[in-house]
Amino acid sequence: MIFIITNDIVSNKEREDGRKLDEIRPLKIEAGILKRADGSAYLEVGGNKILAAVYGPRESYIRRLLRPDTGVIRCRYNMAPFSVDDRKRPGPDRRSIEISKITAEAIRPSLLLERFPRSMVDIFIEIIEAEGGTRCAGITAASVALADAGIPMKDMVVGCAAGKVDGEIVLDLSEKEDKEGQADVPVAIMPRTGEITLLQSDGNLTEDEFDKALCLAIEGCKQISEVQKEALKNRYEA
C-alpha cells in the first residue's frame, strides 16, 4: 500500500471557488431515504445531487449472471436529462456504461457476497444534478446505500478525485476545473486497509505529479469516509 505523508505538498494558494488546493467541496450524505429500496443514500457534494438505491441480495432473475459459489452485483449509473446544462439524451451512452462498469468493479472487492450464492445485488445511481466528480460521488453514495441495505462488507469504499489545474495539483475538481484543467485522477479506496479499488487517469501528468495527485486523492477519500460513517450513524440516532 502506498501511504505518503502529504503535509507540505500543497501551498496556500486559493482556487477560483475560494477553496484551498487540498480542500474538498462541502459534502452532505443522508442514508436510508428511499422507503421501498433495501438500502439507499442521498449525497450532495458541491453542485452534485446524487441518489443511490440498492436492492437485494435477491434471486437472480438473469440466469446467465448467476454464480453457484457467490453473489453478483450489477450497477447502473444514469444521468437525468436535466442534470447538466445541455439536455442529456436519456438512456445509456458510452460514458455511463463505462461508469457503471467501473463502479461495480470498485465496489465488488469490499463486499462479502460469498454468503449469498446464486443471488444478485442491484445498485442504481441516479445523477439528479451534475457538477464534476460524479463517478467518485456515485461510488461513495452507493457504498453508503449498500451498508444501509445490511449487505456484509469488509469496508466502505469511498471515492475522490484529484487533478491538475493551472499547473497545480488540486483535490476534488469541480466541473469547471475538470474542463479547463490538464488532468483528472479519480481514485476509490477502502480506507481501513488503504487498498485502491479504482484508479483512472485522464490527461497529462508527470510521474511526480501523478504520485502527488494520488496521495492527495487518498487524503480526500479519508475525509469523505468520515462523513459516510456519520451519515449511517445519524440514520439511527433520533
Examine residue 33 and tell whether it contacts another protein (CB under 8 A).
Answer: no
**Strand partners of residue 217:** none
Which of the residues 181 through 220 are near another protein (CB under 8 A)? Answer: 190-193
Residue number with CB closer to another protein (10 or 156): 156
x/- site string to another protein, residues 69 to 108, per CB under 8 A?
--x-------------------------------------
**Sequence letter at residue 89:** R
- The number of residues that bind another protein (CB under 8 A) is 35
Examine residue 237 and tell whether it contacts another protein (CB under 8 A).
Answer: yes
Residue number with CB closer to another protein (11 or 193): 193
Examine residue 159 and tell whether it contacts another protein (CB under 8 A).
Answer: no
Which of the residues 132 through 151 are near another protein (CB under 8 A)? Answer: 147-150
Distance separating alpha carbons of residues 80 and 62, to the nearest angstrom? 26
Cβ 199 to another protein shortest distance, Å: 20
42-to-28, 35, 108, 127, 148 alpha-carbon distances in Å: 8, 13, 20, 10, 12
Examine residue 59 and tell whether it contacts another protein (CB under 8 A).
Answer: yes
Residue number with CB closer to another protein (28 or 95): 28
- Cα angle 87, 135, 193 (rounded to 5 degrees) comes to 170
Site of interaction with another protein (CB under 8 A) = 38-39, 56-59, 68, 71, 110, 112, 115-119, 147-150, 152-156, 190-193, 228-229, 232-233, 236-238
